[in-house]
Amino acid sequence: MLQTRIFGCSARIASTSMAHNMRRQFSSIFVRPKHFRTAGRILEKNKGVFKQFERGCFHPGASTQVPLNASTQLNGWQVTRRLLQFVWPKGQPAVKRRVILAMCLLVGAKLANVSVPFLFRDAVNYYNGKAPEFLKLTFDTPQSAIFTAGVCIIMAYGLARATSAGLNELRNAVFARVAQGSVRQIARNIFLHLHSLDLSFHLNRQTGALSKAIDRGTRGMSFVMSSLVFNIVPTAVEIGMVSAIFCGTLGNEFAYMTMGSIGMYAIATLAVTRWRTKFRHQMNQADNDAGNKAIDSLINYETVKYFNNEKFEADRYDHFLKKYEHASLKTASSLALLNFTQNAIFSAGLMGVMCLAANKIVTGELTVGDLVLANTLLFQLSIPLNFLGSVYREVRQGLVDMNQMFSLLHLKSKITEAPDAVPLNITGNDITIRFKDVQFGYLQGKPILDGLTMEIPSGKKVAIVGGSGSGKSTIVRLLYRLYDVEGGSIEINGIPLTKLQLKSLRKNISIVPQDSVLFHDTIYYNLAYGNPNASKDEVIAAAKMADLHWSVENMPNGYDTVVGERGLKLSGGEKQRVAIGRAILKDCPLVIYDEATSSLDAITEANIMQSLKEAVNKKTTLFIAHRLATIVDADIIYVLDKGQVVEAGNHRSFF
């Protein structure tokens, strides 16, 4: 038994004569018989036996995924510092003015708020006959009697409450632009940073978990910023004011009792919240897992249908939902314990203050109005304190969520641009690429390219062929600097890739990938993606060259047809033609076709190949191929095996 592989197509052959018959069959399909001389230059021949090219390529990320929580973790202070950079940004005086104005409105609102209990006390004392002399005003007529001091106090009481509420709402409106602007800025920064990370991160990422982490992080950031301005800082200001009022009007013991109660309240809140934070972590992880599973399953909708595995997928999804449910129950139970503890402490403190005030009323040191003052101040303080417990819990959770989000910004790309990198300036289409003894492997000790040396001359059509896993697609990734070589070098016009600016490098290369993935948008958008500044006529011209225009014209919505997620509404051939069209539209000096016509029928392929000849005239082109028909007119054909060039020539020299 003999085994052979012709550009990735393998078959077991019972005899040498059968091998010759098979070669003739391949010849009749792909090339003229007279051009097919021998497979010996393409198939490695060892003592009369054709040796199969072995697969050596492993692309990480297919099954191995790095969980999101494995990223660099920040402590609370680091997260807070990151947050403050957006609240008080450098070089943005308008934002700083808004923050200062919001703080001024905050102080004004609290001053109006703490004046309310004083007005309430004076009204009680007035009607209780205990008002100060300057409030005991009289009027001669019944009509004017309604404007007595008591009524004025009540009116002032209502006005103070309205003023406090109005200033609070104005503060909210002023600070909203700061908060939302910061959320927008951090979301944009993270989005850009994720795109700057190398391919290995994106192969290993969990899309669902990553999306949820960013979503929770931005919501957490908005909540923490709002809580600082609307809850935490105002409550701290009000506690300071209340303590000062107690010291100045009722006595130091009232202040001590109030501060002691608040201290115990804060300690209990901190202790219980720290204990229950781990349950929120468990909820987050379960939420990430469930979201990731749901997205993965829905993306592979067709596969689920093919294997009739809807229930299996639902059971796997439900497994993560159960984990989330259990963590949620723990969170709810611990929340009930925390709420009870907070209420018990505050009620004990309030009871102590009331008993102290009642005792002083009996001794004549205070009035009933003073008791009302103390009660009202504490109840006013109880409202933000009651919310402060919830706010603190949510702020803690917000910091956890922001930690995950900000940790993404600490991830470093393995592909970095040298400080002295230069732009790739191409004159016309003059671009020559040299691979010099290139060494590369995805896994340690498993080389994919092992001493690869070859040249892609300017203006030539070069083809690379070889068995699956011989490193053909890896060459494309290295050209784009999605990975860096481990040994040797790749040069463009004599300049190593590591010395070129990344944007400049990628700007000069266009590609038609083997797997043409489209955006969930219109056909026109996906075509124009190759050059967003192209005119409509240029986009349509590219579609015609890709033999796509007439198919699009027959669609009900034409170029406005939405292709669906990853282009699933289009056929494989239509997707590939869109990819060809946008590569043509990019109009780069180097064009790469990675099995560019593998999903097309013979007639369409012939039409497109003719169009491509016109589109890439005098350009440097690189074809990754299995099908011989696409490389018949190649100037140079490199045959790869085990990461090395084993043969080089053209179609005529091979056949």
pLDDT in tens, 23-70: 333 333 333 333 333 333 333 333 333 333 344 444 443 333 444 544
Per DSSP bridges, beta strands 45-46 and 9-13 are unpaired
**For residues 611 and 546, is the Cβ–Cβ distance under 8 A?**
yes
* pLDDT for the residue 632: 82
Compute the residue count for the chain.
655
Between CA 558 and CA 555 the distance in angstroms is 5
Between CA 77 and CA 406 the distance in angstroms is 12
Rg (CA), the chain: 37
* pLDDT for the residue 33: 34
- For 268, the token pair is 């209990």
* pLDDT for the residue 454: 93
- Taking phi over 0 as left and psi of -120 to 50 as alpha, with beta for the rest, 73 belongs to beta
DSSP 8-state symbol, 134: G
**For residues 51 and 45, is the Cβ–Cβ distance under 8 A?**
yes
Q: Could you tell me which of 515, 506, 517, 586 has the C-alpha nearest to residue 546?
A: 586
Q: What single-letter amino acid sits at 55?
A: R
* pLDDT for the residue 11: 34
Enumerate residue ranges in the chain where pLDDT < 70. 1-76, 127-150, 388-389, 596-601, 604, 608, 611, 615, 626-630, 655
Long-range contacts of range 629-634, CB-CB < 8 Å, 24 or more positions apart?
Answer: 629/30, 629/31, 629/605, 630/463, 630/593, 630/596, 630/597, 630/605, 631/463, 631/465, 632/31, 633/461, 634/461, 634/462, 634/463
**For residues 95 and 178, is the Cβ–Cβ distance under 8 A?**
yes
Q: Could you tell me which of 230, 330, 226, 327 has the C-alpha nearest to residue 272?
A: 330
Indicate the Cα dihedral angle 248, 249, 252, 258, nearest 10°.
Answer: -110
**For residues 512 and 576, is the Cβ–Cβ distance under 8 A?**
yes
Between CA 167 and CA 163 the distance in angstroms is 6
Taken in order 356, 357, 358, 362, the sign of the CA dihedral is positive
Which residue ranges form the domains of the chain, and what is each CATH number? 76-410 (1.20.1560.10), 433-653 (3.40.50.300)
**For residues 597 and 435, is the Cβ–Cβ distance under 8 A?**
no
Helix pair 207-227, 149-196: axis angle to 10 deg: 150
Supply φ then ψ for residue 460, to 5 degrees: -105, 155
**For residues 452 and 438, is the Cβ–Cβ distance under 8 A?**
yes
∠ CA 138-139-143, nearest 5°, is 135
pTM, two decimal places: 0.65
* pLDDT for the residue 265: 86
- For 273, the token pair is 């919240």
* pLDDT for the residue 139: 52
* pLDDT for the residue 445: 77
- For 33, the token pair is 């018989």
Q: Could you tell me which of 550, 653, 546 has the C-alpha nearest to residue 609?
A: 546
Supply φ then ψ for residue 635, to 5 degrees: -70, -40
